Amino acid sequence: MQGVMRGYIRGVDALNYRVGRVAMYGIFLLMGILLWSSVSKTFFLPTLWTLEMAQFVMVGYYILGGPYSIQMGSNVRMDLLYGDWSVRRKAWFDLLTVCFLIFYLCVLIYGAVSSTAYSLGYWKSEPFSFLLGVVTGGEEIGTLERSSSVWRPYLWPIKLLMIFGFCLMLMQCISELFKDVLRLKGEDI
Q: How confident is the model at residue 5 (pLDDT cuts 50, 70, 90)?
A: very high
CB 159 within 8 A of CB 112: yes
146: DSSP letter: B
Task: Give pLDDT, residue 158.
Answer: 95
Task: Give pLDDT, residue 166.
Answer: 97
Question: 10 CB contacts (<8 Å, ≥6 apart)?
Answer: none
φ, ψ of residue 146 to 5 degrees: the values are -125, 160
User: Where along the chain do its domains lie?
Assistant: 2-76+85-184
Cα(173)–Cα(90) distance, integer angstroms: 16
Q: What is the pLDDT of residues 28-78, one digit of tens each?
A: 999 999 999 999 988 988 888 999 999 999 999 999 999 999 999 887 777
Hey, is 80 helix, strand or coil? helix
Q: Give ∠ CA 100-183-13 in degrees, rounded to 5.
A: 70
Q: What is the pLDDT of residues 106-129, one digit of tens each?
A: 999 999 999 999 998 887 878 888
Question: 34 CB contacts (<8 Å, ≥6 apart)?
Answer: 50, 54
Query: Is the pTM above the cut of 0.85?
Result: yes
Q: Is 109 exposed, middle or buried (0-12, 13-18, 19+ CB in 10 A)?
A: middle
φ, ψ of residue 85 to 5 degrees: the values are -75, 160
Q: What is the pLDDT of residues 129-159, one digit of tens each?
A: 888 888 787 777 888 889 888 889 999 999 9
Q: How confident is the model at residue 16 (pLDDT cuts 50, 70, 90)?
A: very high
Task: Give pLDDT, residue 127.
Answer: 86
Cα(171)–Cα(49) distance, integer angstroms: 33
Task: Give pLDDT, residue 47.
Answer: 84
CB 177 within 8 A of CB 99: yes
> What does the chain come to in residues?
189
The fraction of the chain above a pLDDT of 90, given in percent, is 61
